[in-house]
Chain A
Amino acid sequence: MAKQVSPGVLALRKVVDDVYADARKAKAEGKLVGWSSSKFPCELAEAFDLNVMYPENQAAGIAANRDGEIMCQAAEDLGFDNDICGYARISLAYAAGKRAARKIDWSKEDGYVINPATGKPLKDENGNVVLDENGKPKKDPKTQTPFIVLEDIHEIEALPEGREKERRRESIQPYRQMRMPQPDFVLCCNNICNCMTKWYENIARMCNIPLIMIDIPYNNTMDPNPENVRYIRAQFDNAIRQLEELTGKKFDEKKFEHACAQANRTAQNWLKVCDYLQYKPAPMSGFDLFNHMADVVTARGKKEAADAFELLAVDLEQNIKDGTSTLPFPEQYRVMFEGIPCWPKLPNLFKPLKANGVNVTAVVYAPAFGFVYNNMDEMVSAYCKAPNSVSIEKGVEWREGICRANKVEGVLVHYNRSCKPWSGYMAEMQRRFTADLGIPCVGFDGDQADPRNFNEAQYETRVQGLVEAMQIRKETME
C-alpha cells in the first residue's frame, strides 16, 4: 500500500512546486527572476513582487537526486577547487549553464541509453525474483534509468532549431531543481556562511547581472551589537534603493508589511512544528524538518507557506493526541542530528538509524529559521542570527536548549566537508555537549552534496557505537 501523506505535507510540497513553476512562468514572460541566498531578507523581494529562487535549496535537491557529483565535477572542471562548498560548486556549475542530462540514444528516434547497473530486481506474479540465463536476477525495466551525462544550455541554445536541439533540451533531468530559470539578478546575505560572498560574486560576474549584497558581521556577543544593527539597517535601505532601480518600481510599504506578517506567521508555525518533537514518542522524524526546510527557505514570506505549516501543525497535533507518529519504526532512542544531512546519501544515513530505533528529535534549524520580529530593528537583529554567524556561546545555548527540551540521549555530528565553518567549531561544541548534558556525542565524516566524501561502513560503525553507548547510559540510569 502506498504511504499515506498528510494534508500538511502535501500542502508544503505544493508550495515549493508553485514557487518553481511561478519562476519558470515569469521567466518565459520576460519578467525578472532572481537567485537569493537562503537567509537574505525575502521580505524585501516580496515587496517588489519579484520571483526569487534559492540555489542552496536547489543544490540540496540536485544532490538528493544523485546529480551532485556530476555537477560538482563540472564546477571543478571550470576551475573551482573541490574544497569549496558542494552547494556552491553545484550552483556555480548550474549558473555556468551546466546541466545533468539523460544520455540520448541517437540510434533511435526517441529515448535514452539505459544504464544496466540501475533498477530493482524483476519479480513474477508470486513475488519471486526472476533470474536470467546466467542465474543472475533480471532487472525490472520499469525501474531502470538512463546514464547521466553533462549538458550545456549555451551549447544547446547555439544550435539551429530542429530535432537535435529539441531532444537535447528535453534530455535535461526533468525534476524542478534542474529546470530552474537562470538569474537576472542575485541577492546575497552572508549571514548563513561567508562562502556566500564569493559564490554570489562569481555568479554575478559569470552571468553579468547585478548583485545586491547585505554583509552581516560575525557576532562575537550573545546578541547583535547595536552598531552592527545600524550598519545592517543602512544596507537594507541601500538594498531597497537598488531593487527600486532594478525593477523601476517604488518600494511598496504595504506589500512589505504584508510579507513581514506572513514571514512571522511562517516562523511561528514552523517553530510550533519543530516544538512537537518534544513529545515522546515524537509525532514525526526530525529528518522531515530537513525536507520542510525547502518551504522555510523558498517561501517564508508567502501566505501559502504559513498556511501549509499551520495545516501540518494540525496533522501533528492529531498524531500527538492519538499517540501515533509518521516515523516508520518504533522510537527507542532520541538524538540530535548536528549539521546539514548528506543529501546524496539520505537512505544510507537513515538505514542504521532505523535499524536501531533512533529518531532524530532535534536539529538546529528550528531557532535558525524560526525568527519572529516586531519592527525593522528587530528584523535586522533576526537576520544576524544564523548557525555560522553567531558566537560559539550562542550556538551552544541554542543546541543545548533544544537537546534538553526535546529529551535527546545522544548527538550525531556530521563533520561536513562542504561546510568548514560549521564543522570547524563542532569539536569544541561536541566537548561542551558531553560536559554539560552528559550524553555521548559522535562525529562522522560526510558532505552535504558531494557523495565522494561519505563512507557508509564508517558511518554505520559510529552509529552502532553511539547506540551502544546510549544503551549503557540508559541501563545505568535505570
Chain B
Amino acid sequence: MSIYTLGIDVGSTASKCIMLQDGREIVSKSLIDVGAGTSGPARAIEAVLAGAGMTREDMTFTLATGYGRNSLEGIADAQMSELSCHAKGAAFLYPDVRTVIDIGGQDVKAMHIENGAMVNFQMNDKCAAGTGRFLDVMARVLEVRTDELGTLAAQSTKRVAISSTCTVFAESEVISQLAQGTDKRDIIKGIHYSVANRVSGLVNRIGVQDRVVMTGGVAQNKGIVSALEESLGHIIYTSPLTQYVGALGAALFAYQKALKMKQ
C-alpha cells in the first residue's frame, strides 16, 4: 500500500503544499498567495487535498515548515525549519547540489549541502534589503507587477546603480531616478544587481560550490538569477517547481518520518 505524505510551507507571503506518494511522486500541489497569519495555509491544504481527491486522514505524515510552521498545531505531525526543507527539496531535484540559495519574502538563506543534507547555512541580518519584500516594494514604486520585473530587466540597455544597504533608501533612490526620467527597465536592472550584491555577500560567506541551485519564488525572476550568476561567477539552476521546494522538502522529511513510524 502506498504512503502519502504532505509537506506544508507556510511562508511570510505565500502558503505552499506538496503531496507525495511513497516519497517519490508528486501527486498534488497547491499555492495560495498569502502566508502566515492569514487564511492561506488552510486554503492551500484544502486545495492540495482536493487536487488529489484525498482527505487529511489519508496522509500518513504531515510536516510543516516556513515562518508560520508553528501555527499548524493539530494539522501537522511535526515541524522543521525551512532551511533543512529547502535543502532537502533541492537535493531531490538536483542530487549533486552543493549550494542552495533561497530568497524568501523576508529572509535570504544560503545553505551548504553535503550528500543531500544541509551542514551549514547563513541567513540575512535584520534588514529587508535583498529579500522578496524588497522587490515587492520596488515593483510598487515602479507601478509594475513583481512577476514582470524579469522580463522588463531583459529589455534594459544600461544599468542604474541602486543602493543595496536599505530598502527605504533604495526606494528613495528609485523615486529620484524616476523623477529624473530614467527608463524603468534600467532601474529594474539596477534593482536586480542591488539584490544580487547583497545576496552574493551572504552566499560567499558559506563558500560557493557547484552545483548551485536557487529555490523560492524569487528564482522565477530571470533578471535576479542572471545578476546573481554574474556576481557569484557560477551557473545557477532553477526548477519549474522553485516555489514548492520548501514544501517538497517537508513532504520528503514527512516520508522519512512515516517510514520510521512503520518500523
Contacts and interface: CB of A to CB of B under 8 A. Distances in A.
Given A440-B121, A445-B126, A465 B81 contact: yes
B117 interface: yes
B125 interface: yes
Counting chain B residues whose Cβ lies within 8 A of the other chain, the interface size class is: 10 to 19
A473 B125 contact: no
B120 A440 contact: yes
Chain A facing B: main interface SS? helix
Interface in A443-463: 443, 445, 453, 455, 457-458, 461-462
Interface in B36-59: none
Given A431-B205, A457-B67, A464-B80, A469 B125 contact: no
A472 B81 contact: no
Given A445-B125, A461-B83, A464-B80, A469 B67 contact: no
A468 B118 CA distance: 8
Counting chain A residues whose Cβ lies within 8 A of the other chain, the interface size class is: 20 to 34
Contact of A440 (B81, B107, B115, B119): B119
A427 B205 contact: yes
A415 interface: yes
A442 interface: yes
A434 interface: yes
Interface of B: 67, 80-84, 107, 115, 117-123, 125-126, 205-206
Given A431-B205, A445-B125, A461 B120 contact: no
A408 interface: no
Max chain B CB contacts within 10 Å: which of A430, A455, A464, A465?
Answer: A465
A443 B202 CA distance: 12
A443 B115 CA distance: 24
B13 to A, nearest CB: 14
Given A453-B126, A464-B83, A465-B83, 10 more contacts: A440-B120, A457-B67, A458-B123, A458-B126, A461-B82, A465-B81, A465-B84, A469-B118, A469-B120, A469-B121
Contacts of A445: 125-126
5 contacts: A434-B120, A441-B120, A461-B83, A461-B123, A462-B123
A468 B107 CA distance: 19
A468 B125 CA distance: 20
Contact of A443 (B80, B117, B119, B122): B122
Contacts of A457: 67
A445 B169 CA distance: 21
Interface in A406-448: 415, 427, 430-431, 434, 440-443, 445
